[in-house]
Amino acid sequence: MKALITIITVLVVASAVQSCSIRSSQLSSLISTFQEPPVDLQGHSWTMSYGNYSTTVYAISNPGGTLFSNQFGDKVFFNGWSITEVTGLGINRANWKVVDKNDSRTFIRGNTLVGEHYCGPWTSIKQSNRVRFNQECRNFSAYSNAIITDEEGYITYIRQAVIGTNTFLTLNKN
């Protein structure tokens, strides 16, 4: 009887080990997943600048806009007309939001309201094979946000106030 229990135990253990084993094709598939060639992101690279800080970010299309991000934790969300969120920016460790409502732009740092500017509608000027969109804003002083598109209508340049100061965040297509 003891021999029968030992044989049954060995069969159960062998069956369990065999059903949980990884076949060679599964292992090869898993290995190939991690060995695929890297995606070339250079066609999606932009130079982001804010004050003295400058870095390369990569554009990623998302529902509702474009996320510009890099491996250093810099993130900028652009909804097609406005930069609405900024995090990172090197040692600045930004955590900013911009809310557009009717004719105003509200600037928020963390959970604190830091300013509200009044802005006019976007206007456009055709310049050779490009279109420049401008938005005139004012608070204590006047300034202009800008977006430039190429001849195919793709955005190549974005310059906007993001925290209510006269320092602008700029994104320039590489």
- Domain edges within the chain: 2-34, 42-173
pLDDT at 33: 54
pLDDT in tens, 119-165: 999 999 998 899 999 999 998 889 999 999 999 999 999 999 998 78
Q: Mean pLDDT across the stretch 59-79?
A: 95
Least-confidence region, from 21-25, 114-118, 130-134: 21-25
pLDDT band at 40 (very low <50, low <70, confident <90, very high): low
Report the share of the chain in percent with pLDDT over 90. Answer: 65
Q: Which architecture does CATH list for 42-173?
A: Beta Barrel (2.40)
pLDDT of res. 91: 75
The model's pTM is: 0.75
* Spatial separation of the C-alpha atoms in residues 59 and 45, rounded to whole Å: 6
- Please tell me the chain's helix, strand, coil percentages from 3-state DSSP, rounded to the nearest 5: 20, 50, 30
The predicted pLDDT at position 88 comes to 94
Segment 34-46 mean pLDDT: 65
Indicate the pLDDT class of residue 167, thresholds 50, 70 and 90. confident
Burial call 105-118: b when 16+ CB within 10 Å, e when fewer: bebbeeeeeeeebe
What is the pLDDT at residue 17?
Answer: 47
Cβ partners under 8 Å of residue 50, min gap 6: 89, 92, 94, 162, 167, 168, 169, 170
